[in-house]
Amino acid sequence: MILYCDTSALLKLYLQEEFSDNTIALAASAKAVAVCRIAWAETMSGLARRLRENPADEQVIEDCRTRFRQDWTQLLIVEVNQDLLERAGDYADTFALRAYGSVQLAAARQLQQEVSETVYFACFDKRLRQAANILGMKTQDSD
């Protein structure tokens, strides 16, 4: 199984949040953890937001940034290209998704079509999970 993490799931691998333990367990059992190239900017943005909201967490956030930078080279990266963005635009319309959510879904779908492994789509947005289920991906809703 390949675990595809949207940014909400990816952050749970670094910050202790609700469902972090489950996400960490999924990552540990996966042959690979995959993300879309945009996850770099989204993750750094999420960590910066957490620091703005909780300045006392400065060292925790800096440790997360360091671990994330180190782990990035070990992740399976789905690149953004015009075909992926066109598919994302279709998904945004079809499933009423936000822009980056549709890009995440398109990236996971592309990966699903390229590999012979099961792709588990980890995300914490109900509409996005439902769309992934419709596209035949395993999610929390399909367990």
122 phi and psi angles, rounded to 5 deg: -95, 120
* Cα separations in angstroms, 121 against 48, 93, 136: 25, 20, 10
Q: How confident is the model at residue 18 (pLDDT cuts 50, 70, 90)?
A: confident
For the chain, what percent of residues have pLDDT higher than 90? 92
Return d(Cα 80, Cα 85) in angstroms, integer: 7
Is residue 7 within 8 Å of residue 75, measured between CB atoms? no
What is the pLDDT at residue 142? Answer: 61
- pLDDT tens digits, 22-39: 999 999 999 999 999 999
* Of the options 3.40.50.2300, 3.40.630.10, 3.40.50.1010, 1.10.3720.10, the CATH number for the domain spanning 2-142: 3.40.50.1010
Q: How confident is the model at residue 140 (pLDDT cuts 50, 70, 90)?
A: confident
Q: How confident is the model at residue 143 (pLDDT cuts 50, 70, 90)?
A: low
Vertex 125: Cα angle to 122 and 128 (nearest 5): 75
Return d(Cα 35, Cα 8) in angstroms, integer: 11
Q: Residues 57-79: what's their mean pLDDT?
A: 97
Please check the confidence at residue 101 and state whether its pLDDT lies above 80: yes
- β strands within the chain, DSSP E: 2-5, 32-36, 76-78, 119-122
Bigger pLDDT: 141 vs 4: 4
Is residue 4 within 8 Å of residue 44, measured between CB atoms? no
When the pLDDT of each residue in the chain is averaged and rounded to a whole number, the result is 95
Return d(Cα 80, Cα 11) in angstroms, integer: 20
Domain range summary for the chain, segments of one domain joined by +? 2-142
